Amino acid sequence: MMSMGDYPREPKRSHIPDDVKEYVMRRDEGQCQACGSRSNLQFDHVIPVAMGGSSEPENLQVLCATCNLRKGPGLST
Ligand SMILES: [Zn+2]
């Protein structure tokens, strides 16, 4: 079911299962974990997939688009 390449436009970055997204969104109370915003929310890999991070709930957090952009690829804060 979870074969790679299902999302050719976003390889590896966002193949987060729907149930995991639901779990993380509920756990993070539907708000950005950096600033508390509730708009433009995205799922962020705490450890980037490129660096071996998984798409497990433990490695995911909710960030708004602004904070996610600010974090940028490869930067850990
Ligand atoms: Zn934010």
Q: What pLDDT, on the 0 to 100 scale, is given for residue 76?
A: 46
User: CA-to-CA distance for 46 and 21, rounded, in angstroms?
Assistant: 14
Domain ranges of the chain: 29-72
Does the predicted model carry a pTM greater than 0.85? no
Q: Is 63 left (phi over 0), alpha (psi -120 to 50) or beta?
A: beta
Q: Separation of 14 CA from ligand 1 center, angstroms?
A: 19
- Among 1.10.30.50, 3.20.20.140, 3.40.50.2300, 3.40.47.10, what is the CATH number of 29-72? 1.10.30.50
Q: Separation of 31 CA from ligand 1 center, angstroms?
A: 8
Q: What is the DSSP string of 7-38?
A: -TTSTTTS---HHHHHHHHHHTTTS-TTT---
Going from the first residue of the chain to its last (77 residues), give the mean pLDDT of each consecutive group of 10, the final group possibly shorter: 52 77 98 98 93 95 95 56
